[in-house]
Amino acid sequence: MDFPTIHTNFWDAVTAVPIVMIVTQLIKLFFKVPKQFVPSIALVIGLIISVFFSHKKDVIAGIFMGWFYGYAAIGSYASLKTTIIAYRESKGKE
């Protein structure tokens, strides 16, 4: 079995991950999705963007990169949320 050749560039990470984050937040806002389903939604959106737009000629590469898009969005959101909470707590102690 050969591993797929994956051609990615800077723009994949710069556009796909923020788009996944924004669409996920819009879905949370408009459809009141329970918190436990939000990471799965981000992963599905990342897969959709990757398979149907970024890597439409290679399904395996699209699935592979879709996981990265979804999980990068999940990690970026968690990191941003943790940073904001820590900043607010540190300002409250002063």
Using CA atoms, how far apart are residues 89 and 81, in angstroms rounded to an integer? 12
- Kindly report, residue by residue over 10-26, the tens digit of the pLDDT: 777 789 999 999 999 99
Instruction: Quick: pLDDT tens for 53-92.
Output: 988 888 998 898 899 999 999 999 999 999 999 999 998 7
Confirm whether pTM is higher than 0.95: no
Q: Residue 57: its pLDDT value, please?
A: 87
Cα separations in angstroms, 64 against 8, 14, 60: 11, 17, 6
Q: What is the pLDDT of residue 38?
A: 96
pLDDT (0 to 100) of residue 84: 96
Q: How confident is the model at residue 7 (pLDDT cuts 50, 70, 90)?
A: low
pLDDT bracket for residue 6 (50, 70, 90):
low
Where is 6: in which H helix or E strand?
A: none
